[in-house]
Amino acid sequence: MFDADEVLELLRKRGHRMTEQRRAIVVEIMASRGHIAPADLVERVRSQVPGVNASTIYRTLELLEEVGVLAHAHGERGPEYHHAHAHDHVHLTCSNCGARRSVAAEELGRAAQEFKSATGFRPDFTHFEVVGLCEDCRDMN
């Protein structure tokens, strides 16, 4: 896992300028735990650096994914980023009550194998949100 100074140095070595805005974005991202919704990140960074452009934040998210610091998953509310070392989990969202949870990707190994056997395609469950009914809502139906 990287800290903010290591990420800034990595970007600097790759020829990227370290503006006040980019520094604030990286520090906020690296201090975050769990998932980071881009819109939430825009609000948090703007509270520290008023006037920072949302496009700068989105470009920085993409850059950090490109260099291996972040990964993203697609959900009903759009993409969410997380530290790349935490990439080995699957997002589950209840379509009835909205409850969200994560499970280790390895717990879905058998399901992935069955999917592959049925379709010939090996899924990456970590890249998107699996939507269905949670145990409580399923039991009510």
**What is the pLDDT averaged over residues 87-100?**
86
Q: Please state the φ and ψ torsions of residue 136, each to the nearest 5 degrees.
A: -65, -50
* Helix, strand or coil, per DSSP, at residue 14: coil
The top-level CATH class assigned to 4-69 is mainly alpha
Summarize pLDDT for 23-78 with one digit per residue, the tens: 999 999 999 988 889 999 999 999 999 989 999 999 999 999 999 999 888 877 78
Taking the C-alpha atoms of residue 61 and residue 10, their distance in angstroms, rounded to an integer, is: 14
What does the chain come to in residues? 141
**What's the confidence (pLDDT) of residue 65?**
92
CATH 3.30.1490.190 location in the chain = 88-140
- Given pLDDT bands bounded at 50, 70 and 90, which one contains residue 141? low
The top-level CATH class assigned to 88-140 is alpha beta
- Given pLDDT bands bounded at 50, 70 and 90, which one contains residue 128? confident
CATH 1.10.10.10 location in the chain = 4-69
Taking the C-alpha atoms of residue 16 and residue 76, their distance in angstroms, rounded to an integer, is: 32
